[in-house]
């Protein structure tokens, strides 16, 4: 009897889930029109900005329901670019990202909640330097998808802040005048354009 009930429950779950699975759309992140930028305090007096040049990933969603979105993003850590070759080499070294050991940075969403007109809070797991922590992104859509040259495209922007030491990025130097060379807080700004597959 219990076995029959279990099989019936499984069958019902599949029937309920099937329409969702059938209508799930997949979008490919357009790397050439996507940017991941960061800002860090330098010497307690100014900000240094950089970006990652190589970002890939997919987005799945049920129709036009943003709350159903699932995002899986991979960033090539070695593509970090602050426009200063020596600084970039230091960021890639074991002092910071250690790209030889941890070649990628990843983000996998776990929840999306509405936060106003065309705005959402996206919770997900961010993995940097081999350490995974939950983060919340403030996301704003750029409008409804559009048709361009036979492709359906959509875009969004997102921001968040993290503490780099939470991810094991603890390298620093004390300044003679007080304070430290590199700030702990990292502001992240993301602009994504995606193409419907």
108-139 per-position pLDDT tens digit: 999 999 999 989 999 999 999 999 999 999 99
Dihedral of alpha carbons 49, 50, 56, 57, sign: negative
- At residue 7, φ and ψ (nearest 5 deg) are -65, -40
Pick from 165, 97, 93: nearest CA to 130: 97
User: What is d(CA 68, CA 126) in angstroms, rounded to the nearest whole number?
Assistant: 19
User: What is d(CA 183, CA 175) in angstroms, rounded to the nearest whole number?
Assistant: 12
Contact 185, 41 (CB under 8 A): yes
pLDDT at 142: 80
Q: What is the pTM of this model?
A: 0.83
User: What is d(CA 182, CA 184) in angstroms, rounded to the nearest whole number?
Assistant: 7
Bridge partners of 74, per DSSP, are 56, 106
pLDDT band for position 15 (cuts 50, 70, 90): very low
Q: What is the distance in angstroms between the CA of the first residue and the CA of the last residue of the chain?
A: 44
User: What is d(CA 183, CA 197) in angstroms, rounded to the nearest whole number?
Assistant: 40
137-158 per-position pLDDT tens digit: 999 988 778 888 888 998 999 9
Domains, the chain, ranges and CATH?
Answer: 24-196 (2.40.128.110)
pLDDT band for position 197 (cuts 50, 70, 90): confident
Question: CB-based burial of residue 146 (10 Å sphere; 0-12 exposed, 13-18 middle, 19+ buried)?
Answer: exposed
CB atoms within 10 A of CB 86: 8
């Amino acid at each position: 009897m219990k076995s029959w009930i279990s099989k019936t429950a499984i069958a019902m779950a599949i029937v309920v889930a099937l329409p969702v699975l059938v209508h799930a759309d997949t979008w490919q992140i357009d790397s050439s029109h996507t940017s991941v930028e960061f800002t860090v305090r330098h010497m307690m007096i100014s900000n240094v900005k950089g970006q990652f040049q190589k970002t890939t990933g997919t987005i799945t969603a049920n129709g036009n329901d943003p709350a159903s979105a699932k995002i899986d993003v991979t960033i090539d850590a070695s593509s970090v670019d602050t426009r200063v070759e020596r600084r970039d080499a230091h960021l890639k070294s074991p002092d910071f990202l250690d790209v030889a050991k941890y070649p990628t940075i990843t983000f996998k969403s776990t929840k999306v909640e509405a936060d106003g007109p065309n705005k959402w809070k996206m919770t997900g797991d961010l993995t940097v330097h081999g350490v995974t922590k939950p983060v919340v992104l403030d996301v704003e859509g750029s409008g409804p998808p559009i048709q361009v040259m036979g492709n359906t495209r959509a875009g969004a922007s997102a921001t968040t802040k993290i503490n780099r030491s939470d991810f094991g990025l603890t390298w620093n130097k004390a300044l003679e005048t007080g304070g430290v060379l590199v700030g702990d807080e990292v502001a992240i700004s993301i602009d994504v354009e995606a193409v419907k597959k």
